[in-house]
Chains A and B, each alone.
Chain A
């Protein structure tokens, strides 16, 4: 995938199975968001093959329309309509995803309740805090029961209750057969919720595997430390670059 002359992703060979939660981990500019854009059909690949939910993705709008209704997306853009209530925003997206009005209403109520927003469901979104808007954004991605769920930095801005609710919903969706891909700067989040993680660096996959296995493999080759190693240590061992999990994940030393 290219942005003008810049190659954003290359040599990528990735398969996500139904019922699987896959985390994409890497520093800023690694290609995480570009990969998510491909998966949600927001961009088409400049080469290679992209198959989503069993359908080869092509510029033909007819196939894209039905495919897109089966995908749930939460990026970083505020796509709420502030004059509508939280419930109305969810109903709108649920109907766009193909649900009937009554089903959309019921699904909207249920998912707002899971995020602890039931008492604010009928307030205009203009009165929502940033954290509440973030929860609503995630609820919009999940409300129509998509078969593929794509989340970019899903826990950013969420309180503990929100993070717990999201993890539990993602596990439930995966158990019911949805494929889930989430990108994160925070190494702890994929460690908690993902079946498999993929490390991206400069547009290439440098490492992939189950979080526990990757950490265990590192434990066998690295000196014993007092603290438990995490996925940030795996990234450091693979690239020589350090990911610092502060409020945002930063790349301290870029490898040559």
Chain B
């Protein structure tokens, strides 16, 4: 089977320059408004974490739900590719494309906040892993949702709940159950890296 679905996803991303420009430009604009608007670092870090999480979750969920609705996924499965193989290859390609599209935003954060090189590396790795998790969440939701609208609604709620559980919206008491749970949520580590990048911690 090799990497045919991964290859097609990358080819499609390169064939759609307008989508790529929008996908890179919109988060860059949002990051620029917050970073150059002198938002307090904890608030800025929270906005960036939510933005990157939604970017990854919706970026995977919406195309998956659309391809499910138009029968493309079913056709690929009937051509002899198990659905989990399609999901894994799409997940890898989608997370990689998301990271490339977010690189200008990450670069702006590093430049505006004067992030230390070690924190810069941590930021890129943590955001990459956060995007993989966000994409996986999006695909999972889209697989079980009944329509595109349902996918969007459930993806929003699930992402926000996981951000909350990951301690993005509040700091749980040390030793509490909530503190234990937040360590299980990958968005927690992405948020920590973003906080370090903006000089909050």
Contacts and interface: CB of A to CB of B under 8 A. Distances in A.
A42 interface: yes
Contact of B80 (A42, A98, A124): A98
Contacts of A79: 70-72, 75
Interface in A51-95: 61, 65-69, 71, 73, 75, 77-79, 81, 83-84, 88, 92-93, 95
Most-contacted residue by chain A among B1, B71, B76, B79 (CB, 10 A)? B79
Nearest to B16: A83
Interface residues of B, number: 20
Contacts of B16: 83
A69 B80 contact: yes
B79 A69 contact: yes
A40 B2 CA distance: 24
A83 B13 CA distance: 10
B78 A41 contact: yes
Contacts of B12: 81, 83-84
B15 A96 contact: no
B40 interface: no
B80 A73 contact: no
Interface residues of A, number: 26
Interface in B67-100: 70-72, 74-82
Contacts of A187: none
A154 interface: no
Given A78-B70, A79-B72, A83-B15, A93 B79 contact: yes
A97 interface: yes
Given A77-B75, A78-B70, A79-B71, A65 B82 contact: yes
Interface string B1-38: 11010001001100110000000000000000000000
B15 A84 contact: yes
B74 A92 contact: no
Given A83-B12, A83-B15, A84-B12, A96 B71 contact: no
Contacts of A97: 79-80
B4 A95 contact: yes
Interface string A28-42: 000000000000111
A202 B161 CA distance: 49
A136 B75 CA distance: 14
A132 to B, nearest CB: 18
Interface of A: 40-42, 61, 65-69, 71, 73, 75, 77-79, 81, 83-84, 88, 92-93, 95-98, 124
23 contacts: A40-B78, A41-B78, A67-B80, A68-B80, A69-B79, A71-B78, A73-B78, A73-B79, A77-B70, A77-B71, A81-B8, A81-B12, A81-B72, A83-B12, A83-B16, A84-B11, A84-B12, A88-B11, A92-B4, A93-B79, A96-B4, A96-B76, A124-B15
